Amino acid sequence: MATSDSLSYAENHSPEDDHLALARRNAQTVGVVPVLPGARAALEFFAAAIGAKAVAEIGTGTGVSGLAFLRGMGTEGVLTSVDFEAENQRLAREAFQAAGIPATRFRLITGSALEVLPRLIDSGYDIVFVDGDKTEYSEFFNEALRLARPGGLIIFDNALWHDRVADPSQRDPETTSIRELIERISADETLTSVVLPVGDGLLAVRTAG
């Protein structure tokens, strides 16, 4: 069992550069909570490990997770990211451009994710990343199952939700939603999943195929 010191060591294993620092500063400015460094590193690793060429993201924020995916995918990969806050996406675009990423490699769509996602192509994405409203995680998962290619990945941030998910006495709507999603996925024999204790927890699911 890893100690808190070991978890902290792992969390800070992959250093972040000035472009990620800019995205994090912008997040503070607008009150957005981006993925933590360990989770950001894991997202970049996942994208690189499976040779992802297309990623769909629910929750652009100010571009921290987007930078992870764009770097992990390499020069041919394209990110499609949905967020209901246009200002967040303006700041994400700023971070991407500062990092030298061509505009052809990302598509930022402003709007409600549950209204936008049905317009995206079936089985069109190697990875679907979810970091939106926690109470809508089950609905996002339904959409992600359609969007992810066979054998693709669906990844949820905040799978541990500030240590609340593991505590059965915590029954607020967000915690309950995340806990129920994890239980649903665990019970589905067609899916392979893992909960990783990086950042605030990542739930990674591999679809059948």
Name the burial class of residue 92, with classes exposed (0-12), middle (13-18) and buried (19+) by CB atoms within 10 angstroms of its CB. Answer: buried
SS3 per residue for 90-110: HHHHHHHHHCCCCHHHEEEEE
Tell me the mean pLDDT in the region 130-136: 98
pLDDT over threshold 80, residue 2:
no
pLDDT higher than 90, residue 131? yes
Rounded to two decimals, what is the model's pTM?
Answer: 0.97
Higher-pLDDT residue of 154, 12: 154
Q: Which amino acid appears at position 75 of this protein?
A: T
Contact 166, 147 (CB under 8 A): no
Q: Which of the four pLDDT bands, split at 50, 70 and 90, describes residue 101? A: very high
Count Cβ atoms below 10 Å from residue 130 Cβ, excluding itself.
24
Q: What is the pLDDT of residue 4?
A: 87
CATH code, domain with 130: 3.40.50.150
Query: By percentage, how much of the chain surpasses pLDDT 90?
Result: 92
| Whole-number Å distance between alpha carbons of 182 and 165 | 10
pLDDT at 1 over 80: no
Classify each residue of 158-171 as buried b or exposed e, where b means 16 or more C-beta atoms within 10 Å of its C-beta: bbbbeebbeeeeee
Domain that holds residue 77: 4-206
- Residue 14 CB neighbours (<10 A): 14
Residues 6+ apart with CB under 8 A from 18: none
* pLDDT value at residue 209: 84
Which residue do the tokens 């209204």 mark? 115
* Model pLDDT, residue 12: 87
State the pLDDT confidence band at 155, using cuts at 50, 70 and 90.
Answer: very high
Distance CA 185, CA 192 (A): 8
**Domains held by the chain: number:** 1
